[in-house]
């Protein structure tokens, strides 16, 4: 479970988060700290402090605009040879496809 300090850093002003990014423990955290505050805030609110953080993180990413998903692919996923190919494929789909997958497959919402 992430610490309160990690969540506070996500909610910090852009200058603070960007200054902390180079010291983050992994590529994904560094990427997140370089995102605009509204993106970091939505991640903190929708993903942090929940038991099913991994699933929520996947849903959160699929609900992000293409620009955010492509940035994640470029700066994080493409740098890790263990990134599942299906993740890369899905994140490259249109906003509508990603949101539909999150809604109907991951969240199990009816048509």
Spatial contact of 10 and 43, defined as CB atoms under 8 Å apart: yes
CB neighbour list of residue 69: distance below 8 Å, 6 or more residues apart: 61, 62, 91, 92, 98
102 falls within a domain: yes
On whether residue 111 sits in a domain, the answer given is no
Q: How many distinct structural domains can be found in the chain? A: 1
Range of the domain at 21: 4-106
Task: Report pTM.
Answer: 0.90
| Average pLDDT score over the chain | 94
Over residues 2-22, the pLDDT tens digits come to: 567 889 999 999 999 999 999
């Amino acid at each position: 479970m992430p610490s309160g300090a990690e969540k506070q850093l996500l909610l910090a002003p852009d200058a603070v988060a960007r200054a902390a990014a180079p010291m983050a423990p992994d590529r994904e955290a560094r990427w997140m700290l370089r995102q605009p505050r509204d993106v970091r805030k939505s991640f903190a609110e929708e993903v942090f402090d929940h038991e099913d953080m991994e699933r929520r993180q996947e849903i959160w990413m699929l609900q992000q605009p293409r620009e955010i998903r492509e940035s994640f692919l470029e700066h994080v996923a493409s740098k890790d040879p263990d990134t599942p190919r299906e993740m890369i494929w899905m994140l490259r789909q249109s906003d509508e496809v990603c949101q539909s997958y999150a809604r109907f497959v991951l969240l199990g919402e009816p048509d």
